[in-house]
Amino acid sequence: MLRFLICLLLSTAALAQPAAPKPYSQRMADAFLRWYPDSLGLTQNKAARWGYEQGLMLLAIERVAQRTGLPRYHDYVVRTLDYLLPGDGTILGYKAADYNLDNINTGRVLLALGRAPGPRRAVYRQAAQLLHQQLTEQPHTSEGGYWHKKKYTSQMWLDGLYMAEPFAAEYSQVFQAPAGFDHVAQQFALVEKHLVDPKTGLLYHGWDESHAEKWANPSTGQSPNFWSRGMGWYAMALVDVLDYFPKNHPQRVQLVKYLQRLAPVLARYQDAKTGCWFQVTDQGQRAGNYVEASGSCMFVYALAKGVRLGYLDKKYAAVTKKGYAGILQQFVQTEPDGLLALTGTVSVGGLGGSPYRDGSYEYYLSEPLKKNDFKGVGPFIMASLEMEAAR
């Protein structure tokens, strides 16, 4: 009887304990699913478009699914992609003739689903092959560097490395196409050659081989400034392609060295006060500049993953902890309905086009900030998953 009473008391005490709070990665994913509950094609639902932002979010949600094992996250990803893939070998909203590297990024989710058994596995793999065909025909510089888009003649942008190369590396692994790894490594080598500033170690946003663009330096072809999200795309691309590169590939060591070269540069430009990074990375004290959410989340993700996988010295864990604490303080808020929200993401950043974007300091500060922008929310979830794994 005494044993029964003790067990009853222990059980009652256990039931009285409050449930452990969900981690930030899951809370933000839950918020996103509440913002966009129907992924099946409503015109106001951005999640039902084919674009890099949607791919970024779906990849983040799929990683939450993998971490938690909860089916609702994976089901959401499947539902969204199935709407975009009618099964006739096409992708709704995708135009291969644009030769736009941004359109490749969602292919990473196709590959993730195509690895698992299921009734639509062949459809996902076929769609991935369609995207890869674009890469085989992508216009490129004289050295083989992909143009960012067909309309951006002779230009390589940092953004493009994230949009295309993790997909290309994983595709090469899935479809056993080892020559693809050589081409992935070449893209990073060309960025290191043409976009790294020897004085600071930072990377310029874009490079024009022709030197013809108004934003291009007449001598180097480089754009004028360092944009944190641009470098964030590049840093994430580096740590992600290494997931798929063969251990014995001759360029794998060089890719790790690129990351190791970049890490102390990012640490140097981390804001001492907030722990975050500025929109224009190297000009934190200049009037109008501000710490920006998406670039900060991307840097924390890349550095934390680099530490976890042994590419980077453990001393960079302190940089990630300071950065993540700053992100939570500066940008994350709880709404009246209890959902998380992320503020402080710059809506866009580009070069050229119409109206013309000249890459000046003033240009980068002119683009509006957005709340719950996919380009901030996705990297926040990924950074949170890394920080949660490090505990």
Q: What is the pLDDT of residues 317-347, one digit of tens each?
A: 999 999 999 999 999 999 999 999 999 999 9
**Local confidence band at 195 (pLDDT 50, 70, 90 cut-offs):** very high
- Which is catalytic among the residues 30, 159, 240, 282? 159
Distance CA 60, CA 53 (A): 11
- How large is the average pLDDT for residues 86-106? 94
Cβ density class 79-111: b for 16+ within 10 Å, e for less: ebbbbbbeeeeebeebeeeebbbbbbbbbbbbb
What separation, in Å, do the N-terminal and C-terminal C-alpha atoms of the chain show? 42
Residue partners of 233: CB distance under 8 A and separation at least 6: 158, 159, 161, 162, 163, 298
Stated pTM of the model: 0.94
pLDDT tens column, 247-276: 999 999 999 999 999 999 999 999 999 999
Asked if 159 is an active-site residue, the reply is yes
Residue of higher predicted confidence among 11 and 296: 296
**Local confidence band at 140 (pLDDT 50, 70, 90 cut-offs):** very high
Share of the chain above pLDDT 90, in %: 88
E strand or H helix at 340: strand 340-342
In this prediction, residue 340 carries a pLDDT of 98
Q: Which tokens hold the place of 235?
A: 């840093």
In this prediction, residue 1 carries a pLDDT of 53
**Local confidence band at 239 (pLDDT 50, 70, 90 cut-offs):** very high
In this prediction, residue 45 carries a pLDDT of 55
